[in-house]
Each structure stands twice: as C-alpha cells, then as structure tokens.
Chains A and B, each alone.
Chain A
Amino acid sequence: MTPLERYESLVDDVEAFRAACDRPLPSVVRVNTIKATVERVREALDEEGIAHEPADWHPGVLRLPEDSPGRNWPHAHGWIHGQEEVSNLPAQILDPQPGDRVWDACAAPGSKTTQLAALMDDSGLLVGNDNNLGRLSALRHNAERLGVTNLVVTNQDARNFSLKPLGEGSDDPATVDAFDAALVDAPCSCEGTIRKNPDAFDTWSLDHVHSVAGVQKGILRRAIQATCPGGTVVYSTCTFAPEENEAVLNHVLQEEACRLVDFDAPLDGIPGVTEWEGEEYDPSVEKALRIYPHHNDTGGFFCAKLEVGE
C-alpha cells in the first residue's frame, strides 16, 4: 500500500485524486509587493515574452506555464518568488497587519516568511526561526533578495523557543514579551508534495509520521504560549496524515488555552476529519481545511486557524 492509498477513505473523489497526484505541478510565482506591483511584474514578464496567468483566487499569484521562475529580470530584481500556489494560503489566513509582532516558528527557506513580511508592508517585527542553521542561510538569502527589512532571524528549537534574545523580562522599551500572531508551518511527512517531489514517499514510514507528530505538538503548543490572548496562530502542513493534522490540533486543544476558528478559504477543500483509525478528535477540528491535489490542481495541504485564549 502506498501512503496515498491510506487516505482514500477520506478523499471525496479517489479517481480525480489519483490522477492529480500523477501530474507534475505548474511553475508558480508570487509577486513580492515589497518591491513591485502586480501590474509592473506582468508588464516586465510581457517585455520578456514570458507567458503568465494569475491564479483565479489571487491576482499576485502567477502561473508561468512555459517558464521556470528563476531566469528573468523580475526574479533578478526580487519582484517575484517561486512559491507553490497552495503554499500561499497560510500567510493569507494569518492575515498579519503592518506594525504587528509575528513569529514564524519554522521559517526556512522563507517563502511564507517573506510573504508575511509583504502582508505587513515590511513594518512591525517578524521573527523567522528555524532549528537548522544551513536552511537559515537560504532564509536570509531569500529575505534579502526580496528586500525584507523587518525580519529578525533566530536559530532555536521552536519547541522551547526563548524570547530572551528579544529582551523578554527587561525594561527596555523595545522588548518583545509576546507575539500578536504566529505561523506554525510544521515539519511534516510531506505527502502532499508528491507532485513536486516524486521521491517524497521513499523515506515514508508510519514511525516517521508518529515521530514528526510529536514534534508538531511541541511546536504548536509553544506558539500558542508565546502569543498574546486574542492573538492568532495558524497551523499548516503539506501532508494528509490525520496523525500530523487533526490529532495535533486535538492535542493542543486539550493542553493549551485556545480554540479553532472559522476562516474564509479562497481555495477549495474539505473540512478536517473527526475520527481516524479508531481515534476520535474534538468536533471543532472540522473547522480546519484539507486540500487535495485535485481540488485546485495544486499540491496537497492542511491549514487551521486558532485563537489564543486567556
């Protein structure tokens, strides 16, 4: 049994699901509004004869049907960034505002981090953290190319992230004691990226699913603790396993002061599942969104929005 067959009981249209998983993904870029407008990027692509069409749900997400995203002037200027269409979703759902203090717990290589910076108009405080120093250099490279100036890069284990380097507990007026919002785009088994990485299943095992779910629970709990009451935490993965998705939400609902909230999803998907292999989850996990590759012709994805309580 392949990992995908494992989820066929959860999928609404198994034939369409299988067919989509076998197709390669189109090349997609996000317009970086820190440096350019959508209109100017489209004009520049036209000047170079590069075909482009906007995603129907987002004018700043452009499909390049005949080109790779990296060898053109808009890329050299940092006006565009190659980013899979569905991976544009979590930052949109988090919806940070200019001036906010935002934590991206698993930031490298920085597609979603730089998107958060753009949504904040490059103002306020954005902390991009990753536990892997090598991947942090990719994050810094991408952030600088895209002209981000509001990013603090940290190298910690997100499960016990410390605000001490940001001055926590001191009386300095610039001290950061908590965040207004956090994004947990968690390390996962990446089943939803099979269209991009055909070898994604080579290293798949149920043990790995359970092991990474434990890490995800730790990171999401810390994100909720580090966010102000009333603040927002968005949890996302690019995988289908309920152990890494709804079960993680179910765990933090029991352990931390938070609740799942509804959100308007600009992409099609289906609700989170409330039971899996004999386990039952909190009914509110239905508020999460499961996106399968055939829903929008993208990769697979999972996204949930939480509000932090007192």
Chain B
Amino acid sequence: MSDANDGQRFDRLPATADEREVAGRATRHEVIEWWVDRFGLPEDTFDGYTFWEKGAGKIWIFADDVPSPTDVEGLGMTFLRTRQEHWKPTTNAVQRFGRAAARNVIVLDPDEATRFLAGEDLEPAWDGDWGYLIVAHEIAGGVEPIGVGLYVHDELRSVIPKGRRASLSPPE
C-alpha cells in the first residue's frame, strides 16, 4: 500500500487514525465528527454510508460499498473538501443532508435567498460562528438548505458553484 494519495482512483477512507496508511487522508471518524460538531447532525446520519477520497482532499459519500481501491468515474456524491485549512462541504451535500442540521444554519429572507442563489454576496444579520454556514430559506412549510456560504468579516459570501447558480424568474 502506497503512503501517497493517488488522485486517479477511489480509496475508501480508513475508519480511524489507527488505520490510516495514506498521509494526510481524513478518516471516516473525522469526517462524520466534523458534520456532527459543525452542524449538529444526529450521530447516526451517516450509518451505512462509505466515504472515499479521489483527487486531493475530495471526499465522496456512497450509499453502498465496493472493493477499495476502485477505478471508476464517480462514486456516490462529492461531499467535503479536506486537505485545506478549513474543511468545506459541497453544495450538493448540504442540500442532501443539511435539512437535519441544528446549528450554523442561516435562514435568509426571500429576497436575500434569491440573490444568494444568483451568486451575490450579502450582509445579513448573523451573530454566530464565522466560517462555512448552511444557507437556507423557508419554502413550502419548512426550512430548506440552498447551499454553502462563507461568513467572514460580517459578510456572507455565496459559494454556490457556477453551474448551480440561477436567476429565478420574478413571480407573475
């Protein structure tokens, strides 16, 4: 087993630091702990999922399992960026799993939500943590995550990827 990350294939994350063989690779335990600590998700949210690294620090979540390593184009969903100072969740992971979040969720008003989706930076009222937040709004009787925002220096930066940004038609 090589001790370097091979960015061209999927490798299952080690369960814990004791089982880590590739330097700098996040463990399953750390990844789950990060989501639970940062966003207050229930501890059992990710039971049954496997976690994989392909590319430097790009973590994927997969609902099933396959032998590791595996050479395919995609395995589940891109989930989290590690190997950088602050770990960053993906928009799609936040939309999929963020509904259960209990903290670091900022709920925007309708106008702010529309501007955030279009990629605009905002200055909403927020007295919680700095860093990556789950950005949400009220729709159809509930709070729904839109994506990821970076809150620094009293500013909420939209980090919705270009391919997911949208200008919504104004209501009739």
B142: nearest chain-A partner, CB-CB: A40
- From 70 to 122 in chain B, residues with beta carbon under 8 angstroms from any chain A beta carbon are 70-78, 90, 92, 95-96, 117
User: Cα distance A34–B142 when bound, in Å?
Assistant: 16
> Per-residue CB proximity of A61-96 to B under 8 Å, as 1/0?
000000100111101111000000000000000000
A223 contacts the other chain (CB 8 A): no
Number of residue pairs across A and B with beta carbons under 8 Å?
A: 111
User: Cα distance A283–B121 when bound, in Å?
Assistant: 64
Once A73-B139, A148-B77 are accepted as A-B contacts, the answer to whether A124 and B64 lie under 8 Å apart by CB is yes
Q: Count residues of A near B (Cβ-Cβ below 8 Å).
A: 47
Once A71-B166, A150-B62, A150-B64 are accepted as A-B contacts, the answer to whether A145 and B92 lie under 8 Å apart by CB is yes
A42: nearest chain-B partner, CB-CB: B140
B76 contacts A150, CB within 8 Å?
yes
A125 contacts the other chain (CB 8 A): yes
B66 contacts A174, CB within 8 Å?
yes
> Per-residue CB proximity of A126-168 to B under 8 Å, as 1/0?
0010000100100011011101111111110000000001110
User: Cα distance A153–B66 when bound, in Å?
Assistant: 12
* Chain B residues closer than 8 Å to A43, beta-carbon distance: 140-141
Which of B74, B140, B141, B172 meets A49, CB within 8 Å? B172
B163 contacts A141, CB within 8 Å?
yes
Q: A70-B166, A76-B117 are in contact. List 4 more A-B contacts (CB 8 A).
A: A133-B73, A147-B95, A149-B62, A166-B66
Which residues from chain A sit less than 8 Å from chain B, CB to CB? Answer: 34-35, 40-41, 43-44, 47-49, 67, 70-73, 75-78, 122-125, 128, 133, 136, 140-141, 143-145, 147-155, 165-167, 170, 172, 174-176
5 chain-A/chain-B pairs, Cβ below 8 angstroms: A48-B171, A75-B166, A149-B61, A149-B63, A176-B66
